Amino acid sequence: MQEAYHIPVMLSESVDALCVKPGGVYVDVTFGGGGHSREIWARLKGKGRLIALDRDGDAAANAIQGKGFTLIRNNFRFLRGLVRNEGVEEVDGILADLGVSSHQFDTGERGFSFRFEASLDMRMNNRSSLTAAKVVNTYSEEKLRYILGVYGEVDNAGRVAKLLVSARGHKPLENISDLVEVLKPCTPKMMEHKYLAKVFQALRMEVNAEMKALEQLLEQSLKLLKSGGRLVVITYHSLEDRLVKNFMRSGNLTGKVEKDFFGKETTPFTVITKKAMAPTEEEIQRNTRARSAKLRVAQKL
């Protein structure tokens, strides 16, 4: 089931980086198709505990059947509280794969991809109220410009925001085709797919509050990890990667390394990956959605 749902990215590299030990306690905060979790589970050898999180109800179909495995349908921004609610105060490792699952991209009615005609949804949790339609139809021009420019790195974000505000004044933008049509005047020829992917990424990140959730995940991971515990994160966007890199280096969201009374730099982590790891060419050929992945690893002191 998990292979059809999603092909796990950098599977061996990420689980190797966790240094899984039988009897340990681990958290996979992005369960999805369960590929990473199954590899962790295999290395636990029937001992220890694995807690998995996913806000998408569809992921429940991939749950692992076994004593010691728990799947929680919730956002990883609540990581520490959810894990403590399971009676766990500290863990040996946390894994996060921040990519959208192939299942979500390939299920047309979810609205994640411009390849299908569907409503402008893009919610990872279909119980939440904010949709892409609400974003494009109610956000101010200034806020739309910010989202498109920062989250999507769309070069002509200002022009796109202006077009959206103008178009919705005539008719609400409800479907993917509505949005694609409005974008036509500013979509570069021969680069339509790449351009639309950036716009859709920006809207998806806003709908799901992905950057804020990542900030909360990182801060809580520091409190939840045992001394010697590993934090393993796979990112797909420069904003995410920069945030993870800075946090692992400094232990805070600003990226500024603090100093003690004597001026000595203090940090709660040892950075294992001085440079982000990338997928092999072989993996990219096998799974093109892995091409922008970056893997970073840190160990709590």
- The first and second tokens of residue 182, run together, are 């409005």
- Cβ–Cβ contacts within 10 Å for residue 92, how many? 20
For 32-58, what is the mean pLDDT? 94
Where would I find the H helices in the chain?
A: 2-5, 11-18, 35-44, 79-85, 102-106, 132-138, 141-150, 157-168, 176-183, 192-207, 210-224, 238-250, 281-286
User: Domain limits of the chain?
Assistant: 2-102+210-300, 129-207
Whether 288 has a pLDDT exceeding 50, the answer reads yes
Under DSSP, is residue 200 helix (H, G, I), strand (E, B) or coil? helix
Question: 3-17, 146-160, 167-181, 287-301 — which is least confidently predicted?
Answer: 3-17
Task: Determine the pLDDT at residue 206.
Answer: 97
Q: 85 or 5: whose pLDDT is higher? A: 85
CATH of 129-207, one of 3.40.30.10, 3.60.20.10, 3.90.550.10, 1.10.150.170: 1.10.150.170
The whole-angstrom distance between residue 290's C-alpha and the CA centroid of its chain comes to: 13
pLDDT at 247: 98
Residue 102 has a pLDDT of 54
Three-state DSSP class for 11?
helix
- Can you read off the two tokens belonging to residue 104? 């979500």
- How confident is the prediction for the chain on average, in pLDDT? 93
pLDDT at residue 111, as a whole number: 58
238: left (phi over 0), alpha (psi -120 to 50) or beta: alpha
- For the cut 60, the answer to whether the pLDDT of residue 90 exceeds it is yes
Residues near 295 by Cβ (< 8 Å), separated by ≥ 6? 10, 13, 14, 17, 232, 233, 234, 273, 276, 277, 278
Q: Which of 56-70, 141-155, 233-247 has the lowest mean pLDDT?
A: 56-70
- Is the confidence at residue 109, as pLDDT, over 80? no
Residues 6+ apart with CB under 8 A from 189: none
Please give the model's pTM, rounded to 2 decimal places: 0.91
Assigned token pair, 80: 């520490």
**59: confidence class by pLDDT, cuts 50, 70, 90:** confident
Region 263-272 average pLDDT: 92
Mean pLDDT of 144-156: 96
What is the structure's pLDDT at 57?
A: 84
**Please, which pLDDT band fits residue 113 given cuts at 50, 70 and 90?**
confident
Please determine, for residue 281, whether its predicted confidence score (pLDDT) is greater than 70. Answer: yes
Give the per-residue pLDDT at 3.
46
2-102+210-300: CATH class: alpha beta
